[in-house]
Structure 1
Amino acid sequence: MPENPWGSTGSGETRQWVPAAPQGASGPQRSGGGNGGLIIAIIAAVLAVALLAGVLIWVFSRGGDDSDDHASPTAPRFSGVPTVTETVTEAPAPAPEPEQPEPTVAAPDSGSSGNGGGSSSGNGGSSSGSGSSWRDAGLNYNGWTGYSNATCNGSDTWVYAGGNDSTKVVICRATARDGSTLGLYYRGHAGGQGLERDVDMSSADIADGYFEIPANPAKLIIDGDEMKVYENGSLKKTHSFGQWWYDSQA
């Protein structure tokens, strides 16, 4: 009979066989399951804390904006428009200007250089054959209406007036602020132009309607119903007046 390889030689005892360890192993292997679970728990706790911190930071950074976003705006309240009452004070009416004395006009005497004895009717006598008054001719106390160049300055009144269709002249008496009378001056409209010059008082005669007006290099001479213009001693032009008036009270 062949020899039993499982039998013990010579002792009769059965051997106890233990499986051999794998090659390269130095001893029995220890399980690492306990340490791995602890590490995973720590990592999960750290992540949870980080997540919670992030949520808290996000909430506080909002600063309560969520509640403001949904809050309904409060409509402004008005107590009403105040009523403003203005007191209007009417300006006092301007005081009426004192009436200016109108010239007392008379026609020249028959021996004067006028048109020859026109009738005199107190204020507004006429020296022309037409018999029209100085008012009807277009004069007022200040001069010729519609001819600013042939009207007296300010409140001055004329003492002589004469004219035709194209030429209007007045001799005015200047008045001081205190009402006292001063010298005479000429204002006239002739040839479409105006001129103002002082009258030579040494030769002026209101009743005769005679006035000399220096206007260098020219000289104007008014003599009743005409005005002559001289230049360097030579007669240049003559203006004939159909009518003329003077202030008999001047």
Structure 2
Amino acid sequence: MVKDEISRAEELQALGWTAEDVRRYEELWEYRQRWGAINLEPEDRAFLRRAEAALPKRPASGKGAQKKTLQEKSHYRWLAFHLDAMKASPVEQDLAEGEAGAWRILLEQELRVLDHYEPVLGLPDTLKARDLQPLREQWIGEVAGDARLLEFDFAAPLEELRQRESTSWKPLRGEGNDDRRYPVLAGEAAENFRRHIHQELARQIRASFPSLKDSGKPEPPAP
């Protein structure tokens, strides 16, 4: 059986596998990619074989295989999902003109940087993307003191999605984080943060994502 170069967890979800089994497949798949199947327990290797046997067959060569676009990649859709939930929420809908949540600004700029650099967003990139989680918290914390603080339930959109379908997506701010503080910036403060976070994200993503190691693209234009 040909081993897939990217995880196919989303296809298992579409086939009706439980969220627990999908998460187990994704974790085992990532482990095998890094350390090899020989280090897995026999029952884990059997589980992977069963999962891969259930998936539709793909061509052994690259010919005829359809590649996902950047916007179709799971990590990109995960960011866009959380951004859309914020934009549709009453907390954002009720803001005055010129105001925006710091989290909304951050996610908008993160997606903008990804659109510019177009990383592969395979396993090596998504592993490095995890390093952005504590940085997001740090950047938001740096502006929270000068912002108007509202509340947003960061966990609710994902919980609602899980009620409708199986997903292996994780909460934006990590499991068990119940912090609902939602800093809101206005005017010059919002613009300054937008420019600053754009530079920080561009620098971090360009330097850390393996697929961008040999990228010759210039820095993205300022927002």
- Larger fraction in strand: 1
Q: TM-score, normalised by structure 2?
A: 0.22
Greater relative CO (CA pairs within 8 A, separation 6+): 2
| TM-score, structure 1 normalization | 0.20
Name the larger-Rg structure.
1
Pick the structure with more helix per residue: 2
